[in-house]
Structure 1
Amino acid sequence: MSSKKRNYLPTAIAVYTTFFMCGIIMSISAQYKLQLAELWGEKGNIAAVLSVSSAVGVGGLIGTLAGPISDKFGRRFASIMACLCTVINFAGFMLAPNVTVAYICSLIGGIGNSFMNAGLTPSMQDAYPDKRSMLTVLTKFFVSFGQFILPFAIVAFNAKHISFKIAFWGIALIYAIIGIACFFLPFPESGSQKRQGEKAAAPKVKMHITLEAVILGLMGFSTTALFMVWTNTNQELGKLYGLTNPALLQSVYAIASLVSVLTTSALVQKGLKESTVLTVYPAVTGAFLLLTYFIQSGPMVYAMAAVMGWFGAGGTMQLAVSLLAGLYPAHKATAISIVGLGNALSNWLVIRLCGTITATAGTNAPRVILLMNFVIAVIGVVFGLIVTASQKSRAKKGITSLEEVDNGVDDAVDAE
């Protein structure tokens, strides 16, 4: 049965609920750094919590094979694995007796992230292929919505004197429920499964790797690093610049990101090129990061939070995912895993760097981190320019797919 004839709305609800929870997951550990440090026997050691958070990246690197597994065994299996790993991650955090065990749980959570990207995102692309970019960017909307809700939930928890542990156990429970639901929800077939199901023998389709594909994969690093560095260090920067309630920065960031995702998605639907967004957005972010380094004031930090939400986290990684998946229609999850590899490297490397800078640079650490993030933004601009040039080259040659048929005739050639 074709994806167009099936009702995937229940599956879409589960998918986007998962991404909503993902937004909470991305920020909750940063909000409870001191509590987690004490729980793991490292009272006051924020750097230890950042080290645990960086293990998500290590897990993501290990979970790179989630893409090929999803293409081979289907989106349902990958989605169930994503939920299982996340349950282990957050239940483990609450039961971990020390940082080492917490690190292992975070690593498993990183593997879960890889399965989430390989199972949930391509499932919507397979179900609604005509709305690939919009649906992929929509995942960012729900992630941002989760990040927006989190500060208010924390305020409510504090007002009612509810332990932060309830939030972590709640996340584990919700993912357990979604994981069970995935056994029964309808999932579309992947491109490779459809080919296997065809009665007539079909030639084997192979991925053809070009510079453009590599750069789009590396954008998983640059686009993720920009907002991951911000979400993990903005409160310390706010305190340094004199803010009395730096937690509000997260709300400003999340609101800007929500509006940006909707606006960017609409503009892309109307014809704005994804490669243009991937070049302009990091350029604007980099300019404001530099301004924030030199203009040391509270209002500037709030402006930076809004700019980071709009231009740094406005669905740029999702646009890179959409572009790369579109180049490999029979290997969507594998292509997405390439971006996920860059994402995982970002989670591991930049968070560790932030922890090292925090431990060694003293009170000036947040400003040093601003400069590091500026360099990442510049790298993002360079990547965007390369992708733009590659797209123009492919357009001139009439190349839309980077998959080649193994029958002696290539469907795609190197665009570079």
Structure 2
Amino acid sequence: MKKNTYIPTAAGLYLNYLVHGMGVLLMTLNMSHLEQQWQTNAAGVSVVISSLGFGRLVVLFISGMLSDKFGRKPFIYLGMLCYLGFFFGILSSQSITTAFAFGFLAGMANSFLDSGTYPALMESFPNSASTANILIKAFVSGGQFLLPFIISAIVLADLWFGWSFIVAAAIMLLNAIYLLKRPFPDHRALAKPVISTSEQTGTSPQPQQNNSNLLDIACFTLYGYISMATFYLVSQWLAQYGQFVAGMSYASAIKLLSIYTVGSLTCVFVTAALVKKAVSSVNLLMLYTFISLLALITVCLHPTPPVVIGFAFVIGFSAAGGVMQLGLTIMAMSFPHAKGKATGIFYSAGSLATFTIPLITAKLSQTSIASIMWFDVGIAAAGFALALFIGYRQLAARSAALQINRVQV
């Protein structure tokens, strides 16, 4: 069997997301130092942290379309360059205004990486596109897991806090050099998506018939919003729910997020194994969304400590373990002439959720924290109905294409 020449390239692409995992937590874990540097308080630092989401939303759709036109590698390097600007810019900033600008740059970096990396991986591994994309989640989680240890080592050595930023920047810079001569697939070499026994997304063998299907685009876009909203809400309110609704102690409640993370990482590897055994990505999408709905209903009806602990793992597994990557892969493989644009649309919808959900839950929290989780039940129910419809549409498209092929033969 011929070895895939893009495996070394993929290694570098994944390493970028290890650094990205660090990047999204660097300001949070160094908050006290940044408060002093910028002469502000925690609220001021939080404003700067919010700039990452703003920057991501503003440019993601445009960068996705441009990626389809100019190729994947330029945008991956543009993302790496923006991240380097963020790492050094935050350290040199003396006010939250300047820091906000560099935080916005980090959001742009994330968008550029996404618009280049996801399509590049799908084009590098057409027979295992879902697996390739889901592994990104593992490297993001890996970066978030490693960073606290790096910062702890810096603290123990009584070193300047900025070394944590420099370590991340150094890894990114070395990776940029590593990727310079690595091959990338030709984004213009558009062929029919390969549906193999190892990776059945349920897409049609003749995807060009779907390219103008606004209904499919609307369904995937809405799913991008709902899938992000489902787990983002839980990640923000899980600890509070455990403490104030289930009656757990503060120390026990904050550990729920660790259990949640373990669940998400477990799902990454389980999903990778399942798609290799010819389990359809569409079927997994429907299954995980259904599990999320059941888990949310259960924890709302029985908010006890044991149930909440189990819920933390299950919801991390089903909602945060790569279901968004599955949805994106199915969408992009349905529209192979516009993988970058599909990535931009799908993740723009997800980014919109990170802005709107906190506004809604802030209002609900004035009533009760329990009402927030019931609201998530409604979101998950809508997500499950949408996943079923997507599955139906994919199956219908595939059946129609197979029928056409039989007629042509």
Q: Which bin holds the TM-score, normalised by the shorter protein?
A: 0.7 to 0.9
Q: For the Cα contact (< 8 Å) 1:17–1:142, is it kept in 2?
A: yes
Give the corresponding residue for 1:219.
Answer: 223
The separation in 1 between residues aligned to 2:325 and 2:384, in whole angstroms, is 16
Give the corresponding residue for 2:116.
Answer: 119
Q: For the Cα contact (< 8 Å) 2:150–2:164, is it kept in 1?
A: no
| Amino acid aligned to 2:393 | S
Matched, 1:172 2:169: yes
C-alpha deviation, 1:218, in angstroms: 2.6
The separation in 1 between residues aligned to 2:264 and 2:92, in whole angstroms, is 33
The separation in 2 between residues aligned to 1:12 and 1:89, in whole angstroms, is 24
C-alpha deviation, 1:79, in angstroms: 0.4
Matched, 1:257 2:259: no
Q: For the Cα contact (< 8 Å) 1:276–1:384, is it kept in 2?
A: no
Give the corresponding residue for 1:210.
Answer: 214
Give the corresponding residue for 1:9.
Answer: 7
**Deviations for 1:343-368, whole angstroms, at most 9, x for unmatched residues?**
221233335556x45xx947x87555
C-alpha deviation, 1:138, in angstroms: 1.7
Matched, 1:344 2:354: no
| Amino acid aligned to 1:93 | I
Matched, 1:43 2:44: no
2:332 alignment partner, one of 325, 333, 337 = 325
1:151-300 aligned at under 5 Å gives the runs 151-161=148-158, 164-191=161-188, 207-237=211-241, 240=244, 241-244=248-251, 246-293=253-300, 295-300=302-307
C-alpha deviation, 1:140, in angstroms: 1.9
* Runs of 4 or more above 6 Å deviation: none
The separation in 1 between residues aligned to 2:156 and 2:121, in whole angstroms, is 39
The separation in 1 between residues aligned to 2:331 and 2:316, in whole angstroms, is 23
Give the corresponding residue for 1:386.
Answer: 389
Matched, 1:78 2:75: yes
Task: Mark the CA change 1:6 to 1:261 in structure 2 (over 3 Å): closer, same or farther.
Answer: closer
Q: For the Cα contact (< 8 Å) 1:252–1:305, is it kept in 2?
A: yes
2:55 alignment partner, one of 36, 56, 59 = 59
Task: Mark the CA change 1:285 to 1:206 in structure 2 (over 3 Å): closer, same or farther.
Answer: closer
The separation in 2 between residues aligned to 1:373 and 1:96, in whole angstroms, is 38
Give the corresponding residue for 1:396.
Answer: 399
The separation in 2 between residues aligned to 1:157 and 1:372, in whole angstroms, is 41
Q: For the Cα contact (< 8 Å) 1:83–1:179, is it kept in 2?
A: yes
The separation in 2 between residues aligned to 1:239 and 1:113, in whole angstroms, is 33
Q: For the Cα contact (< 8 Å) 1:37–1:49, is it kept in 2?
A: yes
Give the corresponding residue for 1:89.
Answer: 86
Matched, 1:110 2:114: no
| Amino acid aligned to 2:7 | L
* SS of residue paired to 1:215: helix
Task: Mark the CA change 1:99 to 1:314 in structure 2 (over 3 Å): closer, same or farther.
Answer: same
C-alpha deviation, 1:155, in angstroms: 4.8
**Deviations for 1:246-276, whole angstroms, at most 9, x for unmatched residues?**
5533432222222211111222232333233
Q: For the Cα contact (< 8 Å) 1:54–1:351, is it kept in 2?
A: no
The separation in 2 between residues aligned to 1:25 and 1:372, in whole angstroms, is 30
The separation in 1 between residues aligned to 2:239 and 2:35, in whole angstroms, is 17
C-alpha deviation, 1:119, in angstroms: 0.9
**Deviations for 1:119-163, whole angstroms, at most 9, x for unmatched residues?**
112212222222212212222222233334345445555555555
**Deviations for 1:185-215, whole angstroms, at most 9, x for unmatched residues?**
2222103689xxxxxxxxx999423312222
C-alpha deviation, 1:15, in angstroms: 0.7
Task: Mark the CA change 1:5 to 1:149 in structure 2 (over 3 Å): closer, same or farther.
Answer: closer
| Amino acid aligned to 2:287 | V
| Amino acid aligned to 1:332 | K
Give the corresponding residue for 1:410.
Answer: none
Give the RMSD, CA atoms, in angstroms.
3.4
C-alpha deviation, 1:100, in angstroms: 3.2
Q: Which moved more, 1:57-66 or 1:148-157?
A: 148-157
Q: Which runs of no fewer than 5 residues in structure 1 stay unpaired? A: 195-203, 401-416
* SS of residue paired to 1:276: helix
Give the corresponding residue for 1:407.
Answer: none
The separation in 2 between residues aligned to 1:345 and 1:167, in whole angstroms, is 30
* SS of residue paired to 1:398: helix
**Deviations for 1:168-196, whole angstroms, at most 9, x for unmatched residues?**
332233223333443332222103689xx
| Amino acid aligned to 2:334 | L
C-alpha deviation, 1:370, in angstroms: 3.2
Q: For the Cα contact (< 8 Å) 1:88–1:172, is it kept in 2?
A: no
* SS of residue paired to 1:331: helix
Q: For the Cα contact (< 8 Å) 2:131–2:271, is it kept in 1?
A: no
Q: Which moved more, 1:108-117 or 1:232-241?
A: 232-241
Q: For the Cα contact (< 8 Å) 1:122–1:333, is it kept in 2?
A: yes
The separation in 2 between residues aligned to 1:169 and 1:367, in whole angstroms, is 42
Q: For the Cα contact (< 8 Å) 1:76–1:182, is it kept in 2?
A: no
The separation in 2 between residues aligned to 1:31 and 1:232, in whole angstroms, is 16
C-alpha deviation, 1:280, in angstroms: 2.9
Q: For the Cα contact (< 8 Å) 1:286–1:378, is it kept in 2?
A: yes
